[in-house]
Amino acid sequence: MVDAGEDGSCGRRPLSKQHWRLPVDAIPPEGVDLHRVATPKEEAEIALALGLQSCSGVVLIARADQPARGEYALTGKLQANVVQICVVTLEPFNLAIDEPVSQEFWPPSKIAAVQSDEINPVSEDPPEPFVDDAIDLGALVFELLALAIDPYPKAPGAEFVEAETDDAQSKTRASEHPFSALQVLKDDK
Protein backbone atom coordinates (compact mmCIF):
# COMPACT_ATOMS: atom_id res chain seq x y z
CA MET A 1 0.00 0.00 0.00
CA VAL A 2 1.18 3.53 -0.70
CA ASP A 3 1.98 5.63 2.35
CA ALA A 4 -0.23 8.71 2.47
CA GLY A 5 1.19 12.09 3.37
CA GLU A 6 -0.33 14.47 5.90
CA ASP A 7 -2.48 15.95 3.13
CA GLY A 8 -3.74 12.50 2.07
CA SER A 9 -1.60 12.42 -1.07
CA CYS A 10 0.43 9.38 -1.99
CA GLY A 11 3.94 9.24 -0.57
CA ARG A 12 5.26 8.19 -3.96
CA ARG A 13 3.84 7.90 -7.41
CA PRO A 14 2.69 4.47 -8.64
CA LEU A 15 4.93 2.73 -11.18
CA SER A 16 8.09 4.38 -9.86
CA LYS A 17 10.18 1.22 -9.54
CA GLN A 18 13.27 0.51 -11.58
CA HIS A 19 11.23 -1.87 -13.77
CA TRP A 20 9.48 1.15 -15.27
CA ARG A 21 12.68 3.04 -16.15
CA LEU A 22 14.28 2.56 -19.57
CA PRO A 23 17.94 3.62 -19.74
CA VAL A 24 18.50 5.43 -23.02
CA ASP A 25 21.79 3.59 -23.54
CA ALA A 26 19.72 0.36 -23.69
CA ILE A 27 17.98 1.61 -26.86
CA PRO A 28 20.04 0.52 -29.88
CA PRO A 29 19.93 2.55 -33.12
CA GLU A 30 17.66 -0.10 -34.66
CA GLY A 31 15.23 0.17 -31.73
CA VAL A 32 13.91 -2.25 -29.13
CA ASP A 33 10.53 -3.81 -28.37
CA LEU A 34 9.15 -3.31 -24.86
CA HIS A 35 6.60 -5.20 -22.82
CA ARG A 36 5.92 -3.99 -19.29
CA VAL A 37 3.23 -5.38 -16.98
CA ALA A 38 2.15 -3.79 -13.71
CA THR A 39 2.10 -5.94 -10.60
CA PRO A 40 -1.14 -6.31 -8.61
CA LYS A 41 0.37 -4.02 -5.93
CA GLU A 42 1.15 -1.36 -8.54
CA GLU A 43 -2.37 -1.69 -9.95
CA ALA A 44 -3.83 -1.20 -6.48
CA GLU A 45 -1.66 1.93 -6.08
CA ILE A 46 -2.92 3.24 -9.44
CA ALA A 47 -6.54 2.62 -8.41
CA LEU A 48 -5.98 4.48 -5.14
CA ALA A 49 -4.19 7.40 -6.80
CA LEU A 50 -6.84 7.79 -9.54
CA GLY A 51 -9.91 7.20 -7.37
CA LEU A 52 -10.91 3.94 -9.08
CA GLN A 53 -12.69 0.96 -7.58
CA SER A 54 -10.01 -1.25 -9.12
CA CYS A 55 -7.42 -1.42 -11.84
CA SER A 56 -6.03 -4.54 -13.51
CA GLY A 57 -4.31 -5.76 -16.64
CA VAL A 58 -2.04 -2.71 -17.01
CA VAL A 59 0.26 -3.52 -19.92
CA LEU A 60 2.54 -1.32 -22.02
CA ILE A 61 3.44 -2.81 -25.40
CA ALA A 62 5.70 -0.45 -27.29
CA ARG A 63 8.74 0.08 -29.44
CA ALA A 64 11.51 2.48 -28.51
CA ASP A 65 13.46 3.91 -31.44
CA GLN A 66 16.25 6.42 -31.87
CA PRO A 67 15.16 8.60 -34.82
CA ALA A 68 18.08 11.00 -34.27
CA ARG A 69 21.14 11.05 -32.05
CA GLY A 70 20.03 11.81 -28.49
CA GLU A 71 16.32 11.69 -29.40
CA TYR A 72 14.09 8.74 -28.62
CA ALA A 73 10.57 7.86 -29.75
CA LEU A 74 8.15 5.51 -28.05
CA THR A 75 5.18 4.12 -30.01
CA GLY A 76 2.74 1.39 -29.12
CA LYS A 77 -0.29 0.93 -26.91
CA LEU A 78 -1.36 0.91 -23.30
CA GLN A 79 -4.02 -1.51 -22.13
CA ALA A 80 -5.81 -1.70 -18.80
CA ASN A 81 -9.13 -2.61 -17.22
CA VAL A 82 -10.60 -0.28 -14.63
CA VAL A 83 -13.75 -0.29 -12.53
CA GLN A 84 -15.36 3.10 -11.92
CA ILE A 85 -18.54 4.21 -10.16
CA CYS A 86 -21.21 5.59 -12.50
CA VAL A 87 -22.22 9.15 -11.55
CA VAL A 88 -25.81 8.44 -12.61
CA THR A 89 -26.56 5.02 -11.13
CA LEU A 90 -23.81 4.91 -8.47
CA GLU A 91 -23.12 1.34 -9.61
CA PRO A 92 -19.64 0.08 -10.54
CA PHE A 93 -18.92 -0.61 -14.19
CA ASN A 94 -15.96 -1.93 -16.16
CA LEU A 95 -14.00 0.12 -18.66
CA ALA A 96 -11.42 -1.39 -21.01
CA ILE A 97 -8.66 1.06 -21.88
CA ASP A 98 -6.71 0.64 -25.10
CA GLU A 99 -4.77 3.86 -25.69
CA PRO A 100 -2.22 4.54 -28.42
CA VAL A 101 1.20 5.63 -27.22
CA SER A 102 3.28 8.06 -29.24
CA GLN A 103 5.81 10.18 -27.39
CA GLU A 104 9.24 11.61 -28.08
CA PHE A 105 11.89 11.98 -25.39
CA TRP A 106 14.79 14.42 -25.63
CA PRO A 107 17.56 15.50 -23.30
CA PRO A 108 16.40 18.42 -21.14
CA SER A 109 19.14 20.63 -22.56
CA LYS A 110 17.89 20.07 -26.12
CA ILE A 111 14.28 20.86 -25.17
CA ALA A 112 15.40 24.11 -23.55
CA ALA A 113 17.44 25.03 -26.64
CA VAL A 114 14.57 24.50 -29.08
CA GLN A 115 12.67 27.65 -29.92
CA SER A 116 9.00 27.52 -28.89
CA ASP A 117 7.90 28.10 -32.49
CA GLU A 118 9.65 24.90 -33.61
CA ILE A 119 7.28 22.75 -31.52
CA ASN A 120 3.62 22.97 -32.48
CA PRO A 121 1.67 22.23 -29.28
CA VAL A 122 -1.60 21.97 -31.19
CA SER A 123 -0.62 19.32 -33.72
CA GLU A 124 1.56 17.07 -31.58
CA ASP A 125 2.71 16.41 -28.06
CA PRO A 126 5.94 18.24 -27.36
CA PRO A 127 8.91 16.05 -26.50
CA GLU A 128 9.28 15.02 -22.87
CA PRO A 129 12.65 15.22 -21.15
CA PHE A 130 14.39 12.09 -20.03
CA VAL A 131 16.09 12.39 -16.66
CA ASP A 132 19.24 10.70 -15.41
CA ASP A 133 19.70 9.15 -18.86
CA ALA A 134 16.49 7.13 -18.54
CA ILE A 135 12.95 7.35 -19.87
CA ASP A 136 10.33 7.12 -17.12
CA LEU A 137 7.84 4.67 -18.61
CA GLY A 138 5.91 4.56 -15.33
CA ALA A 139 5.19 8.29 -15.41
CA LEU A 140 4.04 8.00 -19.03
CA VAL A 141 1.75 5.03 -18.28
CA PHE A 142 0.27 6.73 -15.22
CA GLU A 143 -0.36 9.96 -17.16
CA LEU A 144 -2.00 8.13 -20.07
CA LEU A 145 -4.26 6.19 -17.71
CA ALA A 146 -5.25 9.37 -15.89
CA LEU A 147 -6.12 11.05 -19.20
CA ALA A 148 -8.07 8.01 -20.47
CA ILE A 149 -10.38 7.92 -17.45
CA ASP A 150 -13.53 10.06 -17.51
CA PRO A 151 -13.63 12.21 -14.36
CA TYR A 152 -17.45 11.92 -14.42
CA PRO A 153 -17.89 8.31 -15.51
CA LYS A 154 -21.22 7.17 -16.86
CA ALA A 155 -21.96 3.49 -17.38
CA PRO A 156 -22.95 2.53 -20.92
CA GLY A 157 -26.70 3.06 -21.32
CA ALA A 158 -27.07 5.02 -18.07
CA GLU A 159 -29.19 8.13 -18.50
CA PHE A 160 -30.10 10.84 -16.05
CA VAL A 161 -33.87 11.15 -15.88
CA GLU A 162 -35.39 14.18 -14.24
CA ALA A 163 -38.31 13.52 -11.96
CA GLU A 164 -41.58 14.59 -13.52
CA THR A 165 -43.68 17.09 -11.63
CA ASP A 166 -47.26 18.10 -12.11
CA ASP A 167 -48.47 21.69 -11.96
CA ALA A 168 -49.66 21.38 -8.34
CA GLN A 169 -46.19 20.31 -7.23
CA SER A 170 -44.62 23.12 -9.25
CA LYS A 171 -46.92 25.69 -7.62
CA THR A 172 -46.19 24.26 -4.16
CA ARG A 173 -42.47 24.52 -4.82
CA ALA A 174 -42.88 28.07 -6.10
CA SER A 175 -44.73 29.02 -2.92
CA GLU A 176 -41.86 27.55 -0.88
CA HIS A 177 -39.44 29.89 -2.59
CA PRO A 178 -37.76 32.21 -0.07
CA PHE A 179 -39.06 35.32 -1.87
CA SER A 180 -42.60 34.04 -2.41
CA ALA A 181 -43.89 36.35 0.36
CA LEU A 182 -42.55 39.32 -1.59
CA GLN A 183 -44.34 38.11 -4.71
CA VAL A 184 -47.62 38.18 -2.78
CA LEU A 185 -46.98 41.83 -1.82
CA LYS A 186 -46.17 42.68 -5.44
CA ASP A 187 -49.33 40.94 -6.67
CA ASP A 188 -51.50 42.93 -4.18
CA LYS A 189 -50.53 46.28 -5.71
For the chain, where are the alpha helices, taking DSSP H only?
A: 40-50, 108-113, 137-148, 167-175, 180-188
Nearest to 61 by CA among 19, 31, 33: 33
| Per-residue model confidence (pLDDT) at position 160 | 76
Nearest to 145 by CA among 64, 46, 61, 48: 46
pTM: 0.73
| Per-residue model confidence (pLDDT) at position 98 | 97
Question: Reduced to 3 states, what is the DSSP secondary structure of residue 117?
Answer: helix
pLDDT tens digits in sequence order for the chain, 189 residues long: 333 344 344 455 677 777 799 999 999 989 999 999 999 999 999 999 999 999 999 999 999 999 888 899 999 999 999 999 999 899 999 999 999 999 999 988 887 777 555 655 555 678 888 888 999 999 999 999 999 999 999 888 888 777 666 555 555 555 566 776 677 677 766
Residues 10, 45: contact at Cβ < 8 Å?
A: yes
Query: Strands (DSSP E) along 15-91, which ranges?
Result: 21-23, 32-37, 54-68, 71-85
- Cα gap 138→130, rounded to integer Å: 12
How are strands ordered across the β-sheet holding 92-106? Answer: 32-37, 54-68, 71-85, 92-106, 128-129
- Cα gap 94→3, rounded to integer Å: 27
Which residues, other chains included, contact 102 with Cβ-Cβ below 8 Å and sequence gap of 6+? 73, 74, 75, 125
- Cα gap 94→90, rounded to integer Å: 13
